[in-house]
């Protein structure tokens, strides 16, 4: 029976051998939480002055590597604690289904962190050494998210930490390295993106609710229950679009940012895909759609800022 389940999970998730094993380890559907904030923060900076493309690239690569490393730490420590098995959904599966040595996954995560540190040194030299301090703190929290004695991901604060760090902090840093300043406007602009990133974690926790509950986690999804958690997720989406509308009318965002409302149908699709589902495999499309919604919204937000540079 166990072998049959393994086959069904691999088939349902379309898991393939070779390069795909390492690609899945990165959990690409979550990487939107790393490149969208850098894009938005840099486009916001461009509205005030010219930008340094090399700093933009360095920030983008470092952010993606930190997010990927965090995913690998998650894979490693969940396996170490016995939380993942060959039937687990939503993981890379490289350890439990593909036979990759746990130490290899851990070492690769550390390598990604090491490269991020080198990029961080370059960014700090070009801007401020405060970036190194903030970056080191972010990396530590990324490790503690699933590592350490009390992983953040096992508490009700996972969405808050992920949203704040990957949303507000990364957007603010991306803006600062280009402008040498941070203002309330960029903090306000970061909030919808931060909520979206928190929603990715929320979607993940809704999907994994039953298994997480059995393993002693205390996520918001578990505390609220599945139906209320889906409603809460819907409320997060509503808050994003209300904030965007308020920002447009108040002048925080340009009128061009109204194009972000084109992502609303995708957000509605997320809720539809979650409703009535209890099987983690059945909820995978909803989880993927959450990441896509963030990508569409964030890209359109950054694009609207770029348009305002040349037209307004």
DSSP assignment of 147-177: SSSS-GGGSTTHHHHHHIIIIIIHHHHHHHH
> What's the whole-model pTM score?
0.88
Q: What is the CATH number of domain 21-311?
A: 1.10.600
Please, are residues 142 and 66 in contact by the beta-carbon 8 Å criterion? yes
Distance of CA 168 to the CA centre of its chain: 12
Rounded to an integer, what distance in angstroms lies between the CA atom of residue 73 and that of residue 68?
Answer: 9
Cβ burial of 12 (10 Å; 0-12, 13-18, 19+) is middle
Read off the pLDDT of residues 261-276 as tens digits, 9 standing for 90 and up: 999 999 999 999 999 9
Angle, CA of 120, 204 and 58, to the nearest 5°:
15
Quick one: three-class SS letters along 5-68? HHHHHHHHCCCCCCHHHHHHHCCHHHCHHHHHHHHHHHHHHHCCCCCCHHHHHHHHHHHHHHHH
Which tokens belong to 149?
């004695």
Please, are residues 193 and 260 in contact by the beta-carbon 8 Å criterion? no
Q: What is the pLDDT along the chain (312 residues), one digit of tens a residue?
A: 344 444 455 555 555 666 677 787 888 878 888 899 999 999 999 999 889 999 999 999 999 998 888 888 888 887 777 766 666 666 666 777 777 888 998 999 999 989 999 999 999 999 988 888 888 888 788 778 777 778 888 899 989 988 998 899 999 999 999 999 999 999 999 999 999 999 999 998 999 898 888 878 889 999 999 999 999 999 999 999 999 999 999 999 999 999 999 999 999 999 999 999 988 888 988 988 999 999 999 999 999 999 998 886
Name the residue ranges covered by the structural domains of the chain.
Answer: 21-311
How many residues in the chain? 312
């Amino acid at each position: 029976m166990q072998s049959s389940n393994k086959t069904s999970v691999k088939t349902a998730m379309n898991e393939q051998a070779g390069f795909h094993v390492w690609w899945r380890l990165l959990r690409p559907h979550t990487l939107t939480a790393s490149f969208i904030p850098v894009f938005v923060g840099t486009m916001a900076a461009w509205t005030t002055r010219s930008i340094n493309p090399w700093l933009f690239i360095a920030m983008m690569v470092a952010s993606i590597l930190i997010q990927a490393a965090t995913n690998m730490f998650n894979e490693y420590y969940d396996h170490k604690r016995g939380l993942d098995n060959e039937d687990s959904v939503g993981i890379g599966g490289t350890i439990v289904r593909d036979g990759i040595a746990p130490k290899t996954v851990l070492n690769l995560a550390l390598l990604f962190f090491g490269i991020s540190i080198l990029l961080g040194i370059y960014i700090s030299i070009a801007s401020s050494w405060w970036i190194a301090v903030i970056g080191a703190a972010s990396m530590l929290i990324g490790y503690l998210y699933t590592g350490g004695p009390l992983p953040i991901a096992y508490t009700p604060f996972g969405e808050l930490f992920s949203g704040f760090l990957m949303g507000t902090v990364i957007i603010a840093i991306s803006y600062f390295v280009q402008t040498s300043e941070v203002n309330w406007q960029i903090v306000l602009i970061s909030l919808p993106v931060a909520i979206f990133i928190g929603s990715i974690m929320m979607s993940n926790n809704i999907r994994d609710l039953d298994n997480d509950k059995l393993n002693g986690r205390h996520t918001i999804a578990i505390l609220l229950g599945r139906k209320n958690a889906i409603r809460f997720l819907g409320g997060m989406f509503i808050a994003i679009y209300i904030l965007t509308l308020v920002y447009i009318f108040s002048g925080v965002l340009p009128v061009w940012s109204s194009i972000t409302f084109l992502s609303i149908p995708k957000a509605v699709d997320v809720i539809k895909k979650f409703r009535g589902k209890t099987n983690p495999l059945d909820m995978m499309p909803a989880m993927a759609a959450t990441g896509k919604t963030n990508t569409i919204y964030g890209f359109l937000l950054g694009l609207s800022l770029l348009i305002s540079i040349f037209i307004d």
